[in-house]
Amino acid sequence: MRAPAGVKVQFTGGQLQEVRRLQALYPDKRAALLPVLQLAQAAFGYISLEAEEYVAGLFDLSPAHVHEVVTFYTLFFREPKGRHVVSVCHNLTCHLLGARRVLAYLKERLGVEVGGTTPDGKVTLLSVECLCACEMAPMMQVDDRYEGHLTPELVDRILEGLG
């Protein structure tokens, strides 16, 4: 997916300073690739192919190398994401305690498949390997907070509370 029209894929002077600071922390500057990609995602909203190329140039890497990193980690978005990200854990404990039902309910309620964003741009739905909160199974992360012991009623209240 291409960057939206009018969005220039280039860091500001301050952001470039941060890139250089991060690169200087390590004997091999490539070790700073993940935090610089996080910076790029924060700056541009997601990691487009243009952003991958731009970051590759900052590290003297091939765009293919950066693309491999971006596509390996689930924390990077390759398309614009919703204002809120709902991530349902599907690891063993959550799976056994109903994560499939929760995910199916969310898909129906939001009208999107996993990885999709609602037409109004409000919510992106993800299914993730583990959120490290088995005691709350089945559970999900909504932006930066955890929600557990999920039922359809609780899921409805959580979604209704999103701005």
Mean pLDDT of 138-163: 94
* CA dist., res. 106 & res. 87, Å (int): 10
pLDDT at 7: 57
Is the residue at 6 inside a domain? no
CATH classification of the domain holding 148? 3.40.30.10
Mean pLDDT of 113-132: 94
Q: How confident is the model at residue 75 (pLDDT cuts 50, 70, 90)?
A: confident
Q: Domain tally for the chain?
A: 2
One-letter amino acid of 58: L
Task: Specify whether 108 is located in the same domain as 50.
Answer: no
Helix, strand or coil, per DSSP, at residue 140: strand
For residue 33, what are the domain limits? 13-72
Mean pLDDT of 70-99: 93
Task: Specify whether 63 is located in the same domain as 98.
Answer: no
pLDDT at 2: 45
Is the residue at 52 inside a domain? yes
Mean pLDDT of 105-123: 96
Q: Contact at 8 Å (CB) between 104 and 55? A: no
**Is residue 3 scored above 60 in pLDDT?**
no
Task: Specify whether 90 is located in the same domain as 59.
Answer: no
pLDDT in tens, 47-56: 999 999 999 9
Task: Specify whether 63 is located in the same domain as 105.
Answer: no
Task: Specify whether 26 is located in the same domain as 54.
Answer: yes
